[in-house]
Chains A and B, each alone.
Chain A
Amino acid sequence: METYDVHAVVNEILKNQYFTNHGPLARALETKLSGWFGVRNAVLVGSVELALLVSLIAMRKEGQRRLVCNPQDYSPRLMHMGALCGLEVCAIKEMEMYSEESDVFYRAIQSSGVDQFRGGSNSYTVISEVCSSWWRFSPFVGKFASYPLPLILPLPTEGGGSVLLFDSDEDAERARNVRSSYGITKPVSVFVTCNGRFSEAQAGAVLNFLNRCSSSVQTGT
C-alpha cells in the first residue's frame, strides 16, 4: 500500500477552503500528470472502473453494442463494466479479423509487455488500460503517451482513483462532461452522465505520494 502524509493533506484541504470536487489540488494533479506523460489532457476520475465507464460513454458511437478484448484480458470486472454501459463483452482471439466497425476495443497493458503492445487500426475505438503500478517503473512513464489514447492509468494510494489521458481536446471534454459538471471547460452534449468525480482528498493524497517519490529519487533515499 502506497502511503502518504495524511496530516499534510488534511491541512492542505482546510487551508485551501475548497471542499467540493475539482479544486486546486485536483487541478494541480491534472497539470502535473499531463506534463509528465506529455499529453494535452489528463482527466481525473474517482476509480479505474469509473474511468472505464467514463471513457466508454465519452467514446461511444451510434449502434455500438460490443466491447471486444483479447481472451487473456477478459475478466469479471470487464463484464460488469460492459453490462453497466449496455455492452456485451466478447473475448476474441483474432480481434481485428472478427470484429465489426461499431465495436469498441479494450486493451490491457501489463508493465512487462508495454513494448509489445499493438494498437487497433484507425477506424476502431481502442480504450487502453495500464494494469500496473506504473509509478514503480519510472523509465516507462514517457512511453505511455505513444499508445492509443484514451489511456487509463491507476493512481497510487488508497482510493487514489485514476487518470484518463487524451490528446484530443474534444474527447477529453466529453469525458469531463460524463464525469460530472465539476471541472468541465464547457458544457457539451453526452449520451449520459455519471458521478465519476475526484475529490480534493484523493488529489492531495496522490500529489503528496508523488512529490515524496520525486524527492526520494532526488535525494537518493
Chain B
Amino acid sequence: MVGESSHFLSTSNLYEPDKHRVLGYVDLWMAKGGHSRPGVLVALLEQRLCEYHHSKHCVAFATGFWSLVACLRLKALSAPEVIIPSFTYRRLADVVFWAGKTPRFVDVDPATLAISPKAVERAISSKTGAILAVHPIVNCCDVGTLQGIAHDHRVPIVFDAVESVHETCEGRRVGSLGGAEVFSLHASKLINGLEGGYVCSDDPEFVARLRRFRTHDATTASLLEPGSWMPSEMPDLHAAFALAGLDEIDLNVSHNQRIYRAYQERLKTVPGIRLREFDEAEQTSFKNIVAELTGKSLCSRDRLVQQLNQNGMLARAHYSPPLHTRSYEFPVSCPETLPVTDSVAARLINLPCGFRMREGDVPSVVDVIEKSLLMDSGG
C-alpha cells in the first residue's frame, strides 16, 4: 500500500484542518459532558451540514459505505435489482449486495461520464427495486432527468454524492434535492472527518428510519425487517475533524482551484491528453483532476500511470476496470453491452491533487506526462 507521506503526491484530498480548531471542538464536547455524553459533536455536525446543504435533515454515519447500504435497504422496493453505472467506484456492486439486492449495470453518458438517463430508462423493469445514481467525480449527473424517470416509473432513486459535497446542479446545492443523497467524510474526500458519511433528506419518516438503522440499540420495530439495522454511529472525534474541515471549506476549495488552474494551463499545450473540465457555470470543489488520453498518443493509460508512480506521483487508472467486467461470487446483471463504458475505460486517469499538492508540483507532473506520451509516440 502506498503511504501517506506529506511529500508523496496522491489522488486523495487529505485536507489537514487547523489543529486549534479541531481541539476547540474537542473542548466543546468535553464541556458538554465529554465521554459520558457521546453524540454531542455528531449532532452539531448534522446541524451544520443541514445549513451547508440547505437540507431539512442530515444523518451522520460511521462510513459513507454503510450510509449507502442504509438508504438502499430502506428505500428500495421489494423487486430484486438496483440499477447502477458500471463506470464508478469499485465497491458499488458490493454496496448493492449488502442492501440485499442484485446490481444491474448500465452505461454512462459519453459527454458527462455520468450514469446515462437513457440507459436507466431502458433498464427499468418489474425487477427494478431502486436506481442508485452516482455523480461522477468531475461535475454532476443529469439530476432532473433521472428524477423524472424515477418518478414516472415509481422507482425510488438514491444519489451517491460522495464526491459532490460542494457542487451545485442547475444552481441548486447537491444535498438539497430532498430525497436521499449520500456523502462521504473519508479523509480522501473534500471534508476530512477521518472516516464517516452522511445522508441528506427532507423526508422525516425516512430520516427516522435511518436513525434507527444506525443506532446501537436494536429497536423492536427493526425486528420486522431483518437486515434493517446496522450500528454505524460516527464517533465524536471524527465529527471534530469534520466540523473543522467544514469551517475551512472555502480555503480547501481555493487551494484545489489553484491546482486545477495550474493543470489547465500546463496541459493545454500537451498533445495526446485532455483535462476533464469542471462546469464553472456551477459551484464546484475543483477537487479531482481527471484527464483523458486522446487518440494522438500511443502511450497507454496504464503505462502513463506506471510512469507517474515510478516518479513518486500517485496517479490511478480512473474507475478501472469497470464493474461489469469484474468477476463476482454474488449475482449481478448486465444483459446489455455497455459501449461507452468499454470505450472510455482504458483512457481516463486520475492525476495527483489535493491538499498536499502545491501549485509548484504541477509542472513536474505534467513534465512526466509529456515525456511519457512523447516517448511512446516515438518522439
By the criterion CB–CB under 8 Å, are B228 and A201 in contact? no
Q: CB within 8 A of A83: which of B23, B186, B226, B234?
A: B226
Query: CA of A121 to CA of B62 in the docked complex: distance in angstroms?
Result: 36
Given contact pairs A14-B19, A197-B63, A199-B194, A84 touches B330 in the complex (Cβ within 8 A): no
By the criterion CB–CB under 8 Å, are B231 and A19 in contact? no
Tell me if A31 counts as interface (CB < 8 A to partner B).
Answer: no
Q: CB within 8 A of A46: which of B1, B19, B62, B237?
A: B62
Task: Please give the number of chain B residues whose Cβ is less than 8 angstroms from any Cβ of chain A in the complex.
Answer: 54
Query: CA of A157 to CA of B238 in the docked complex: distance in angstroms?
Result: 14
By the criterion CB–CB under 8 Å, are A182 and B192 in contact? no
By the criterion CB–CB under 8 Å, are B229 and A10 in contact? no
By the criterion CB–CB under 8 Å, are A19 and B223 in contact? no
Q: State how many angstroms separate the Cβ of B300 from the closest Cβ of chain A.
A: 22
Tell me if B288 counts as interface (CB < 8 A to partner A).
Answer: no
Q: Among the listed stretches B28-36, B128-136, B265-273, which one makes contact with chain A, having 4 or more residues with CB under 8 Å of it?
A: B28-36
By the criterion CB–CB under 8 Å, are A79 and B223 in contact? yes
By the criterion CB–CB under 8 Å, are A191 and B329 in contact? yes
CB-CB contacts below 8 Å: B302-339 with A: 329-330
Query: CA of A48 to CA of B80 in the docked complex: distance in angstroms?
Result: 29
Contact with A along B55-67 (1 / 0, CB 8 A): 0000000111110
Query: CA of A108 to CA of B23 in the docked complex: distance in angstroms?
Result: 39
Q: CB within 8 A of B4: which of A10, A18, A82?
A: A18
Which residues does chain A contribute within 8 Å of B223, judged by CB atoms?
A: 76, 79
Q: CB within 8 A of B187: which of A7, A14, A19, A157?
A: A19
CB-CB contacts below 8 Å: A148-199 with B: 157-159, 181-184, 189, 191-195, 197, 199
Tell me if B179 counts as interface (CB < 8 A to partner A).
Answer: no
Given contact pairs A6-B30, A20-B186, A192-B329, A201 touches B38 in the complex (Cβ within 8 A): no
Which residues does chain A contribute within 8 Å of B29, judged by CB atoms?
A: 6
By the criterion CB–CB under 8 Å, are A195 and B91 in contact? yes
By the criterion CB–CB under 8 Å, are A158 and B94 in contact? no
Which residues does chain B contribute within 8 Å of A158, judged by CB atoms?
A: 35, 38, 235-236
Which residues does chain B contribute within 8 Å of A120, judged by CB atoms?
A: none
Query: CA of A182 to CA of B16 in the docked complex: distance in angstroms?
Result: 20
Q: State how many angstroms separate the Cβ of B53 from the closest Cβ of chain A.
A: 22
Query: CA of A77 to CA of B217 in the docked complex: distance in angstroms?
Result: 9
Tell me if B6 counts as interface (CB < 8 A to partner A).
Answer: yes
By the criterion CB–CB under 8 Å, are B235 and A195 in contact? no
By the criterion CB–CB under 8 Å, are A194 and B62 in contact? no
By the criterion CB–CB under 8 Å, are A202 and B230 in contact? no
Given contact pairs A10-B23, A199-B194, A199-B195, A80 touches B226 in the complex (Cβ within 8 A): yes
- Taking Cβ atoms with an 8 Å cutoff, the residues of A that contact B are 1-4, 6-7, 9-11, 13-14, 17-23, 46-47, 49, 75-77, 79-80, 82-84, 86, 157-159, 181-184, 189, 191-195, 197, 199-202, 205
Beyond A47-B62, A83-B227, A192-B330: 13 further Cβ-contacts under 8 Å? A20-B194, A23-B4, A46-B63, A76-B223, A77-B218, A80-B227, A80-B228, A158-B38, A159-B235, A182-B1, A199-B195, A201-B238, A202-B235
The 6 closest A-B pairs by CB, nearest first: A159-B235, A83-B226, A195-B65, A19-B187, A83-B227, A76-B218
Pick 27 A–B contacts, CB within 8 A, sort by A. A1-B36, A1-B38, A4-B35, A6-B237, A9-B237, A13-B194, A17-B16, A19-B194, A20-B12, A20-B187, A20-B188, A23-B4, A46-B62, A79-B226, A80-B226, A83-B226, A84-B100, A84-B227, A157-B35, A158-B235, A158-B236, A159-B62, A189-B329, A201-B195, A201-B235, A201-B238, A201-B241
